[in-house]
Amino acid sequence: MAAFADLSILYLPEKEALQKLVEAAAHLGYSSVAINYVVNYKENKKRATSTNIKYYDIFAVFPKNVKLFHVACTTLDVDLVCVEVTEKLPFFIKRPSVNAAIERGVYFELLYVPAIKDSTMRRYTISNAYNLLQICRGKNIVLSSGAEKPIQLRGPYDVANMLRI
């Protein structure tokens, strides 16, 4: 039997709401989930060399421009590079950067919840996912929810079918 994981369930400060979200994921068939705790770099001046990083199992970055994307793919010690899906990418994804990331064992994460919320975001999600899938040839892709509510979660086989579109 396959083991499924959702690597992006958003952290909620209300413990009961977060527990319901995790229980809903377990009910849908996920054997493990990762709680996504977002640290805004502008607010928190700590660097990537901070000793607090050792307390996290998965370290992901969300690059906002082509230079940061290239650095994340080639040099940063990260597990995931999250790709924007709620708007048109402000840069073109370059094959050499993606190939370097794949060789280093870095994965690319796409979120599917924005596609559920709004038709415009659905268009951007499909477009950005298609561009990334073409460049990396389907390798090292992680499709996560980014869910804030239990109703936004989908079963693992439904999520797998989203990539077939």
Give the per-residue pLDDT at 47.
56
Residue 154 has pLDDT above 70, yes or no: yes
Give the per-residue pLDDT at 49.
56
Domain spans of the chain, in order of start: 5-163
**Average of pLDDT values for 35-43?**
73
Give the per-residue pLDDT at 1.
53
How far is residue 23's CA from residue 42's CA, in Å, rounded to a whole number?
A: 33
pLDDT band at 20 (very low <50, low <70, confident <90, very high): very high
The chain-wide mean pLDDT, for the chain, equals 82
How far is residue 146's CA from residue 139's CA, in Å, rounded to a whole number?
A: 21
> How many Cα atoms within 13 Å fall on the side-chain side of residue 44?
9
Alpha-carbon Rg for the chain, nearest whole angstrom, is 16
Give the per-residue pLDDT at 42.
64
Give the per-residue pLDDT at 162.
77
Q: Which CATH architecture has domain 5-163?
A: Alpha-Beta Barrel (3.20)
**Average of pLDDT values for 98-127?**
86
List Cβ neighbours of 33 (8 Å cut-off, separation of 6 or more): 5, 6, 7, 9, 22, 25, 26
Which tens digits make up the pLDDT trace of 43-64? 545 555 566 667 777 888 888 8
Residue 81 has pLDDT above 70, yes or no: yes
